[in-house]
Amino acid sequence: MSLAETVEQTDAATDVAAVMLAIGRRARAASAALALASGDAKDRALRAAAAAIRADAERILAANAEDVSAARAKGQRESLVDRLVLDPKRLEGIAAGLEAIAGLPDPVGTVLAEWTRPNGLRIARKRVPLGVIGIIYESRPNVTVDAGGLCLKAGNAAILRGGSESFHSSRALVEAMHKGLRAAGLTEDAIQLVPTRDRAAVGELLRMAEYVDVIVPRGGRSLIERVQNESRVPVFAHLDGVCHVYVDAGADPDKAEAIAVNAKMRRTSVCGAAETLLVDRAVAAGLLPRIAAALAEAGCALRGDAEARALVPAMDEATEADWSTEYLDAVIAVAVVDGVGGAVAHINRWGSHHTDSIVTEDPAAAERFLNEVDSAIVLHNASTQFADGGEFGMGAEIGISTGRMHARGPVGAEQLTSFKYVVRGDGQTRP
Amino acid sequence: MSLAETVEQTDAATDVAAVMLAIGRRARAASAALALASGDAKDRALRAAAAAIRADAERILAANAEDVSAARAKGQRESLVDRLVLDPKRLEGIAAGLEAIAGLPDPVGTVLAEWTRPNGLRIARKRVPLGVIGIIYESRPNVTVDAGGLCLKAGNAAILRGGSESFHSSRALVEAMHKGLRAAGLTEDAIQLVPTRDRAAVGELLRMAEYVDVIVPRGGRSLIERVQNESRVPVFAHLDGVCHVYVDAGADPDKAEAIAVNAKMRRTSVCGAAETLLVDRAVAAGLLPRIAAALAEAGCALRGDAEARALVPAMDEATEADWSTEYLDAVIAVAVVDGVGGAVAHINRWGSHHTDSIVTEDPAAAERFLNEVDSAIVLHNASTQFADGGEFGMGAEIGISTGRMHARGPVGAEQLTSFKYVVRGDGQTRP
């Protein structure tokens, strides 16, 4: 049955549970085949998919135009429409992203550790694919390709559930991915798009623990929250990115200013953007006015606690809610704290365990901060905006996790794998 | 409030939800402190706890005698009573186990990977504790100490929920653990025993995703099943250990016989015991009668498929249910399969992804089996009974996981950790 036929049938029958079950079964079967696929075959599929995206550009952009005009007709906000729009340049970026993934080393088969027991048994811990990854996303059609490609790289089957706004775009992109899979002799079931816009499909996906090994939600807070609350399948996600820059007594003032401004203002809409500035009481009088002025000049609104406002009266007043708010906007909360201990206490209490940075030339303060702040990423003298798989050298990421199980921080191809123990003997029996 | 007072209050008030919430909060706070405890302090606590168990032996054995006589009075099966009984030798084994854990390397703080980016950022992936581990177990009181000790070693807080049959024994053992923690200046909340026998406590524990990072159930199939079905917290467990020995055409007959008999009969009650023997059709006529005779002589009952019974008519008939049954008894299912491909297909279809072994001198057959069997542990020319953290050199294990997330196979101290990214810069901002 073609994808289009499946869609029609689904819309007719609306037996979402049956459709999802069939998708889950096909994904599980595909994952068994993909686990044995060579790195070469997977990379050929990724490169052929990139070529198919370029060759099909006209068809993909036409499908996208359909989504965009439907979104505009529905009166969607322009910021949402912007996330939805594809143009030749964005499409080329998507294709090039697949080639970059193809160029990464194959994580599958890597020996993570190896040792020999006194009885002669040789034990190796070897990477294997995780299995089936469910990706639930909203309006960005590029996730179809980025996430599908990264799952394939690590030998996993992907079930993609895109937002209804990007339905036609995602479908056109998945067709190109299927061409790539076919060209490499791999099963098209490696990357399946949920062929219905029925929202019940998400609920089904979240309950299919037998067929899905992990769910990666990509989108706004309400989506992540729903997935985390409802899912019976483990989830890689971060609900919030309440990231901090702490300016320590030992800070170099130039670095402090540059890092604070970059961490907040380089892009305010990313999860690694700083939301709170903490300044050591010992240097607040000298440094805070300067950093506040630089932030204000860059267009940032400031909300301070009483001590901060005493030093910079132009600041608005921060309420308790500000300490745990992810503005994703040109706003920053500012608090004066009692040294590195105060900073650690504030961050562990109010932060979201995502990404936090200390600015200091004092190695002892830096070590304490890096050790005691309980976040996926802790930085010393660097901007929180480096919280990104690409910046970490992972080549690509499927998201950033603030959970502690399996994956934490940027989730790249390696984090989409599991492992097995391979034990080689010569007839050993256990006494 | 003392533990005894808490118990009484709880039994009086039966506000299980409030009790569990308080335990969860204390555990979360303790885990933050433990994450910063030195390896030396944790090891001192473990050794002091071992000493306290030896010093308190009389009190612990008296508490255990209370449990044992209550179990007998309730008419519990002797096999269950045997799991419950402590004697001086078993108690010494428990104390020595703690000392062995103290002797293991501290997993926390280990740098798992380290690299430098072109912009000069130095990135390290560093082990940190997982957080709070909930252990739900049945009648074996030693789990109190083994699991509590292993959690402590990896810097985690433990919430122990022992079976009601072992309530007094577990309480006495936890008191000894608390002496160890106090001696090392660590918080007693590092190891908490749920102070109520109310079964609702288990349900509460399984829902406390905010305070508990992972649940480890230890016990029979019905416990594991309940935990896997109900838990909102990730679970490390195996529901079944349907392990296979596959005798390939290239098998050395002596090794095949020795491994099959050992894998099945060394101890039939362990999860790594073989439950199914698969024999390659090419050598079944020559080898199966010999292996079957050796198994029968060792006291094992055999249930074969039609081909196996044609070669060994004394076998009972296997039904389809036998292929997925964990007998945990002196019974083995026997099937004739079509080479290594047939063995892989049978195991991946009917097995439980736990532990499977191939006996062969043919390296190509061995590699295919090790690669294609999708189990936590795959062995070549070795008994499945090696499926054990101690035998793997991990020193101790909290259980064996057939899941693919985070931990797989024997779960030792290393698998009870997470990691964080530590990034060191010199003022870098992101362009």
What is the DSSP code (8-state) at residue B319? -
pLDDT band at A219 (very low <50, low <70, confident <90, very high): confident
Helix (H) or strand (E) holding A160: strand A157-161
Residue range A1-26: mean pLDDT, rounded: 70
Read off the pLDDT of residues A398-425 as tens digits, 9 standing for 90 and up: 999 999 999 999 999 999 999 999 999 9
Q: What does A319-384 look like in DSSP terms, one character per residue?
A: -GGGGG----SSEEEEEEESHHHHHHHHHHHHS-SSEEEEE-S-HHHHHHHHHH--SSEEEEEE-G
B392/A421 Cβ within 8 A: yes
pLDDT value for A4: 47
pLDDT value for A80: 84
Residue A100: is its pLDDT beyond 90? yes
Q: Which residue of A has its CA nearest to B231?
A: A232
Sort out which chain B residues have CB atoms less than 8 A from A426's CB and list them. Answer: 255, 381
- Burial-class residue A400 by CB neighbours within 10 Å (0-12, 13-18, 19+): buried
pLDDT value for A170: 96
pLDDT value for A78: 86
Q: Which residue of A has its CA nearest to B229?
A: A232
B3-236+412-420 and B243-387 have identical folds: no
List the one residue out of A39, A60, A172, A56 whose CA is nearest residue A103.
Answer: A39
pLDDT value for A132: 98
Separation in Å, CA A394 to CA A107, A150, A153:
11, 11, 12
Average pLDDT score over chain A:
94
What residues does each domain of chain A span? 3-236+412-420, 243-386
* Ordered per-residue pLDDT tens for chain B, 431 residues: 444 445 445 454 469 999 999 999 999 999 999 999 999 999 999 999 999 999 999 999 999 999 999 999 999 888 889 889 999 999 999 999 999 999 999 999 999 999 999 999 999 999 999 999 999 998 889 999 999 999 999 999 999 999 889 999 999 999 999 999 999 999 999 999 999 888 899 999 999 999 999 999 998 889 999 998 899 899 999 989 999 999 999 999 999 999 999 999 999 999 999 999 999 999 999 999 999 999 999 999 999 999 999 999 999 999 999 999 999 999 999 999 999 999 999 999 999 999 999 999 999 999 999 999 999 999 999 999 999 999 999 888 899 999 999 999 999 999 999 999 999 999 999 99
List the one residue out of B352, B354, B315, B321 whose CA is nearest residue B336.
Answer: B315
Nearest Cβ partner of B430 from A391, A422, A426?
A391
pLDDT value for A225: 92
Sort out which chain A residues have CB atoms less than 8 A from B423's CB and list them. Answer: 377-380, 382, 386
pLDDT value for A396: 81
| Min Cα–Cα distance to chain B from A259, Å | 6
Q: Which residue of A has its CA nearest to B418?
A: A404
B408/A420 Cβ within 8 A: yes
Sort out which chain A residues have CB atoms less than 8 A from B428's CB and list them. Answer: 381-383, 386
Q: Which residue of B has its CA nearest to A130?
A: B404
Read off the pLDDT of residues A289-321 as tens digits, 9 standing for 90 and up: 999 999 999 999 999 999 999 999 999 999 999
What is the DSSP code (8-state) at residue A105? P
pLDDT value for A11: 52
Residue A344: is its pLDDT beyond 80? yes
Q: Which residue of A has its CA nearest to B377?
A: A421
pLDDT value for B219: 86
A392/B123 Cβ within 8 A: yes
Q: Which residue of B has its CA nearest to A353?
A: B420
**CATH superfamily label, A243-386:** Aldehyde Dehydrogenase; Chain A, domain 2 (3.40.309.10)
Sort out which chain B residues have CB atoms less than 8 A from A291's CB and list them. Answer: none
* CATH code assigned to A3-236+412-420: 3.40.605.10
pLDDT value for A14: 60
ipTM of the complex: 0.93
Residue range A326-339: mean pLDDT, rounded: 97
CA–CA separation, A356 and A243 (whole Å): 5
Nearest Cβ partner of B427 from A255, A385, A393?
A255
pLDDT value for B169: 96
Sort out which chain A residues have CB atoms less than 8 A from B414's CB and list them. Answer: none
What token pair was written down for A41?
Answer: 């075959």
> What type of residue is B272?
G
Sort out which chain B residues have CB atoms less than 8 A from A32's CB and list them. Answer: 348, 374
A382/B424 Cβ within 8 A: yes
Q: Which residue of A has its CA nearest to B130?
A: A404
CA–CA separation, A53 and A85 (whole Å): 16
Read off the pLDDT of residues A24-76 as tens digits, 9 standing for 90 and up: 999 999 999 999 999 999 999 999 999 999 999 999 999 999 999 999 999 98
pLDDT value for A313: 96
B391/A409 Cβ within 8 A: no
- Burial-class residue A404 by CB neighbours within 10 Å (0-12, 13-18, 19+): buried
| Min Cα–Cα distance to chain A from B176, Å | 30
pLDDT value for A56: 97
Sort out which chain A residues have CB atoms less than 8 A from B32's CB and list them. Answer: 348, 374
pLDDT value for A12: 46
| Min Cα–Cα distance to chain A from B298, Å | 15
A405/B130 Cβ within 8 A: yes
Read off the pLDDT of residues A109-139 as tens digits, 9 standing for 90 and up: 999 999 999 999 999 999 999 999 999 998 8
Number of A–B residue contacts, CB under 8 Å: 177
Helices (H), ranges, B158-246: 167-183, 200-207, 221-230
Instruction: Give the up-direction half-sphere exposure of residue A90: CA atoms within 13 A in the CB hemisphere.
Output: 17
A408/B420 Cβ within 8 A: yes
**CATH superfamily label, B243-387:** Aldehyde Dehydrogenase; Chain A, domain 2 (3.40.309.10)
Nearest Cβ partner of A404 from B131, B262, B409?
B131
Residue range A203-226: mean pLDDT, rounded: 93
What is the DSSP code (8-state) at residue A273? S
CA A167, distance to chain mean position in Å, is: 21
pLDDT value for B139: 80
